[in-house]
């Protein structure tokens, strides 16, 4: 009898864990959920728009043609989006939130566990021209195929994790950091690694292997607080070959004050993620 009572308690607890969030979500109108999301983003300085917004079975929400923007313009566009609580982890008392978004031909997947603060994500075949953040922050025309993979754990000053980045067949033009232009170029590959530890983040290297130029970006980016407002402390090194320099000599004349040796330019970058500035 005791075993049966214990079994009944376990079963009832499992059913409750599943039904409670399900009933809560089903009872809250979609407009209320959308309003709460909109207000949450507004508190951090962002605007939210979506052509369609509603609930998805069993424990989630879905949206179509999502646009997230800031004071300087569009930051993120998502074609089809789903955000929901995974069902089976609830039976063992874990809350796992899964996110999926289609962006053009690319796909973004993410997973978040609120209790532990664990967060992981990956992006495959994401076209740079479908990521408006890049144009909003730098005014650049970007092409290429982006691949991302990352994971983080902890919160605030205890945040730690890493992000790996790769861009294939990249083309960047009309890039400006503040008032300073950067050279137009095509890049065979772009590879980078970002690591976070104890609340601080380090861009260990973001290397652009270009046609006639090599660029390396590295430095510090805080990971606590709103990402778009994180202050930057970066250094960009440009190493053009003589023929490349000659073809874009007007750009390098503007950057002449940052030349440290023949064929090497070292540029300090500050400001924030959404408003970088050459110091």
What is the pLDDT at residue 84?
Answer: 82
Residue 70: pLDDT band (50, 70, 90) is confident
Taking residues 100-129, what's their average pLDDT? 90
Q: How far apart are CA 34 and CA 218, in angstroms?
A: 38
Contact 188, 173 (CB under 8 A): no
Considering 25-29, 165-169, 275-279, the range whose residues carry the highest mean pLDDT is: 165-169
What is the pLDDT at residue 228?
Answer: 65
Q: Of 18-32, 40-54, 200-214, 217-231, which range is least confident?
A: 18-32
7-41 pLDDT, tens digit per residue, is 444 444 444 444 455 555 555 677 777 887 888 88
What is the pLDDT at residue 10?
Answer: 46
Q: How far apart are CA 35 and CA 127, in angstroms?
A: 30
Neighbours of 2 (CB within 10 A): 6
What is the pLDDT at residue 24?
Answer: 55
Q: How far apart are CA 32 and CA 104, in angstroms?
A: 29
DSSP-assigned beta bridge partners for residue 278: 269
What is the pLDDT at residue 1?
Answer: 46
Tell me which residue has tokens 């009944």. Answer: 8
Q: Among 1, 2, 274, which residue's Cα sits nearest to residue 138?
A: 274
Q: Where are the domains of the chain?
A: 2-211
Q: How far apart are CA 225 and CA 251, in angstroms?
A: 35
What stretch of H or E contains 53?
strand 47-56
Please give the residue that has the higher pLDDT: either 192 or 31. 192
DSSP-assigned beta bridge partners for residue 99: 83, 110
Which letter, b or e, does each residue of 111-120 get, where b requires 16 or more Cβ atoms within 10 Å of its Cβ?
bbbeeeeebe
Q: How far apart are CA 106 and CA 127, in angstroms?
A: 7
Q: How far apart are CA 79 and CA 259, in angstroms?
A: 43
**Counting Cβ atoms within 10 Å, is residue 34 exposed (0-12), middle (13-18) or buried (19+)?**
middle
Residue 260: pLDDT band (50, 70, 90) is very high
């Amino acid at each position: 009898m005791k075993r049966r009572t214990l079994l009944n308690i376990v079963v009832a607890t499992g059913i409750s864990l599943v039904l409670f969030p399900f009933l809560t979500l089903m009872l809250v109108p979609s407009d209320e959920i959308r309003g709460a999301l909109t207000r949450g983003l507004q508190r951090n300085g962002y605007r939210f728009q979506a052509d369609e917004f509603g609930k998805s079975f069993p424990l989630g929400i879905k949206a179509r043609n999502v646009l997230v923007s800031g004071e300087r313009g569009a930051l993120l566009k998502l074609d089809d989006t789903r955000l929901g609580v995974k069902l089976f982890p609830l039976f063992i008392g874990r809350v796992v939130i899964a996110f999926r978004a289609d962006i053009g031909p690319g796909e973004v997947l993410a997973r978040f566990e609120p209790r532990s603060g664990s967060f992981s994500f990956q992006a495959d075949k994401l076209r740079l021209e479908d990521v408006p953040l890049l144009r909003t922050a730098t005014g650049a025309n970007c092409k290429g195929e982006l691949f991302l993979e990352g994971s983080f754990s902890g919160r605030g000053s205890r945040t730690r994790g890493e992000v790996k980045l790769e861009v294939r067949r990249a083309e960047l033009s009309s890039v400006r950091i503040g008032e300073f232009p950067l050279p137009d170029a095509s890049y065979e590959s772009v590879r980078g690694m970002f690591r976070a530890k104890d609340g601080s983040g380090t861009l260990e290297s973001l290397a652009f292997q270009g046609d006639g130029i090599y660029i390396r970006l590295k430095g510090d980016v805080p990971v606590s607080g709103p990402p778009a407002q994180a202050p930057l402390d970066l250094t960009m090194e440009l190493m053009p070959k003589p023929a490349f320099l000659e073809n874009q000599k007007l750009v390098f004349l503007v950057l002449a004050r940052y030349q440290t040796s023949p064929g090497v330019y070292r540029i300090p970058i500050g400001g924030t993620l959404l408003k970088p500035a050459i110091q």
